[in-house]
């Protein structure tokens, strides 16, 4: 059936430049309209998301191409912000609109608009993370080295391989106070191992003094938890990691503190008056009480995590000042921060964190925890502005995680391609190349467990007893291998959750936080991670190479990355048929080590091909052939 309107926002022939644009750049649009529509006048309508204003720019007739009228128009340089655009078309039969439908355009009475993100032209993100590899460590469960002081009320496991506690205590409360003894010295002792995986950046769960094993209930931001080590242990970790080309990123939990903290001190553990004990406490104004002292705002209603008032000047100075938390730990050796629950932090507060971090280290990395498309996220009724140049460098890429898992479990290649193309279209390129592409975290079930395809039990007792049989585990492992191919070579920076490479299983918290199985690893899986991690270090195209979908249908997904260094072709085939495509020149098959003039993708298999010959830039985020 003949298309009435032809416009592809993800192809250079129709929109230039593609994707998010720097301030000061205009955007040129081309579209084609079926001549039989009788269009007399056409224009581009642009909506300013922040101001609610409407702008209209004319489309000029360029000529004919077959049965289509060709039009050209320009969106002039606009201020930094988020915009939406569509086409307004007036013809002999009245007015209609050209709007978005997936990759294509359709005629409609109520158009769905395309997104246009405009960021500061000075917006830069750290180069050192691009092309690298994150490794996410839940500190208490990774590795134990030496003896550390044990808090009196802590429950220490004797057996490293025991299951974490999961049942409520006699009072019906889950305390999260069982520990296995993992510490900073343990991480330092495993730097050679981490280097063998290709790791270039450690993302550590919170390391500051706190009551719980997860440490998201901070007790003292200025002190390493004694059960994890000392400030000197942290400095040594950062220094020795640097010798392997590995940096350290810390978890910044600035939306709330612990109730058991210097600042709130509900449990009276600390000698100084906290906000809970006295309205005269220097920390009283940090919190929001509705009925003093027992009713106060807390994170998701959890009373052990009282929420702070981030706009309080004293709190801002404590976190972002010259002697504040952000700068102190950067001076001690950290290279960046991951901001916990970034959606719940005010824009102005994130901006101050960025300013403080860059004042201490110009190339400091600032990552946010955001679970959706962060370029247009609305949180608590307010549009967020993470990627305009004043806030984050990038975010945790949960949308890509969901799309990869959906592809492997349901063969939804089209959905994976759409997710990746949307990210490339909506996010500034410097953000895309810093994305934290994780397939598992401390907040999600283990990768191997998810890819078993089995329905996960609901109760904690059932989850504790849940384990994969040998046949299911083997099938899940094969899917993990395919998932890692995608994770390692798609735009952004892969993030390996400790133990996923060793084949750890587990449902949600706390079963996804088991101890790393030293000397009991799945050797086949570990070897696969190592192989692909080492490959990453040999491929400069992964740092900032452009993305293009080559094929996404019938359970097969093939994509291309290219830049001035060369071209990378990667595919995963979930169909029962071999995919074979001729290449215009020889590529090296990186998984076999042999050159080839054909791209071959076996049924149920993966393929990674590379050519170092110079390549012209992509003309779009999706294409129909391999160059």
Q: Long-range pairs for 535-539 at CB < 8 Å and ≥24 separation? A: 535/488, 535/590, 535/608, 536/131, 536/132, 536/133, 536/198, 536/488, 536/489, 536/494, 537/198, 539/131, 539/568, 539/610
**CA–CA–CA angle 36, 40, 42 (5° rounding):** 105
Distances (CA, A) of 5 to 31, 326, 425, 622: 7, 52, 20, 19
The rounded distance, in Å, linking the Cα atoms of 497 and 491 is 18
CB-neighbour burial class of residue 501 (10 A; exposed 0-12, middle 13-18, buried 19+):
buried
The rounded distance, in Å, linking the Cα atoms of 611 and 615 is 9
CB-neighbour burial class of residue 537 (10 A; exposed 0-12, middle 13-18, buried 19+):
middle
Of 340, 421, 477, 546, catalytic:
340
Sign of the Cα pseudo-torsion (531, 532, 536, 541, in order): positive
Q: Where are the beta strands (DSSP E) in 349-412?
A: 365-368, 378-379, 382-383, 394-395
Distance of CA 287 to the CA centre of its chain: 30
Strand partners, 108: 97
Q: Where are the beta strands (DSSP E) in 309-354?
A: 336-339
The rounded distance, in Å, linking the Cα atoms of 353 and 364 is 11
Task: DSSP letter for 240, please.
Answer: H
N- to C-terminal Cα distance for the chain? 29
3-state secondary structure of 186: helix
How many residues are recorded in the chain? Answer: 627
Of 140, 233, 343, 369, catalytic:
369
Q: What tokens does 89 get?
A: 């078309």
The rounded distance, in Å, linking the Cα atoms of 345 and 386 is 11
Indicate if 347 belongs to the active site.
Answer: no
Indicate if 500 belongs to the active site.
Answer: no
Q: Supply the residues annotated as catalytic.
A: 340, 369
């Amino acid at each position: 059936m003949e298309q009435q309107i032809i416009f592809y926002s993800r192809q250079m022939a129709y929109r230039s430049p593609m994707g998010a644009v720097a301030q000061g750049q205009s955007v040129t649009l081309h579209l084609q309209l079926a001549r039989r529509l009788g269009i007399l006048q056409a224009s581009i309508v642009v909506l300013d998301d922040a101001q609610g204003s409407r702008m209209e720019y004319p489309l000029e007739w360029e000529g004919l191409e077959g049965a289509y009228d060709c039009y050209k128009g320009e969106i002039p340089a606009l201020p930094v912000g988020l915009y939406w655009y569509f086409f307004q078309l007036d013809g002999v039969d009245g007015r209609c609109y050209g709007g978005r439908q997936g990759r294509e355009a359709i005629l409609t009475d109520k158009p769905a608009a395309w997104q246009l993100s405009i960021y500061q032209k000075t917006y830069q993100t750290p180069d050192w993370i691009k092309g690298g590899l994150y490794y996410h460590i839940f500190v208490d469960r990774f590795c134990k080295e030496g003896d550390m002081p044990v808090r009196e009320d802590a429950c220490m496991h004797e057996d490293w391989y025991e299951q974490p506690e999961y049942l409520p205590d006699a009072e019906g409360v889950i305390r999260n106070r069982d520990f296995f003894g993992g510490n900073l010295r343990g991480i330092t002792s495993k730097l050679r191992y981490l280097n063998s995986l290709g790791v270039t950046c450690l993302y550590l769960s919170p390391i500051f003094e706190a009551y719980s094993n997860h440490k998201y209930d901070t007790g003292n931001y200025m002190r390493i938890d004694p059960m994890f080590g000392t400030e000197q242990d942290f400095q040594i970790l950062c220094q020795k990691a640097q010798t392997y080309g590995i940096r350290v990123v810390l978890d910044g939990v600035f939306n709330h503190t612990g109730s058991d903290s210097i600042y709130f001190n509900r449990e009276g553990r600390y000698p100084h008056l906290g906000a809970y004990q006295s309205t005269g406490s220097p920390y009283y104004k940090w919190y929001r009480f509705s009925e003093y002292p027992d009713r106060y705002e807390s994170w998701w209603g959890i009373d052990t995590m009282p929420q702070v008032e981030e706009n309080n000047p004293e709190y801002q100075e404590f976190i972002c000042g010259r002697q504040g938390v952000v700068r102190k730990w950067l001076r001690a050796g950290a290279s960046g921060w991951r901001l916990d629950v970034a959606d719940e932090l005010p824009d102005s507060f994130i901006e101050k964190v960025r300013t403080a971090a860059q004042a201490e280290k110009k190339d400091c990395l600032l990552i946010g925890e955001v679970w959706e498309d962060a370029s247009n996220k609305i949180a608590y009724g307010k549009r967020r502005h993470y990627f305009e140049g004043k806030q984050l460098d990038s975010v945790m890429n949960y949308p890509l995680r969901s799309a990869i898992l959906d592809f492997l479990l349901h063969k939804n290649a089209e959905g994976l391609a759409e997710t990746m193309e949307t990210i490339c279209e909506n996010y500034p390129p410097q953000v895309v190349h810093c994305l934290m592409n994780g397939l598992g975290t401390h907040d999600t079930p283990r990768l191997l467990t998810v890819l078993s395809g089995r329905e996960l039990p609901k109760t904690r007792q059932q989850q504790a007893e849940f384990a994969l049989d040998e046949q299911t585990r083997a099938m899940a492992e094969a899917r993990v291998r395919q998932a890692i191919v995608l994770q390692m070579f798609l735009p952004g920076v892969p993030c390996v959750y400790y133990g996923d490479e060793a084949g750890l299983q587990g449902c949600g918290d706390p079963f996804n936080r088991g101890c790393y199985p030293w000397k009991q690893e799945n050797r086949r899986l570990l070897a696969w991670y190592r192989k692909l991690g080492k490959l990453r270090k040999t491929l400069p195209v992964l740092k900032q190479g452009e993305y293009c979908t080559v094929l996404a249908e019938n359970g097969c997904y093939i994509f291309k990355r290219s830049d001035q260094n060369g071209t990378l072709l990667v595919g995963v085939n979930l169909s029962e048929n071999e995919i074979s495509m001729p290449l215009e020149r020889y590529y090296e098959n990186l998984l076999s080590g042999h050159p080839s003039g054909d791209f071959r993708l076996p049924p149920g298999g993966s393929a990674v091909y590379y050519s170092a010959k110079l390549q012209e830039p992509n003309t779009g985020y999706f294409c129909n052939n391999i160059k």
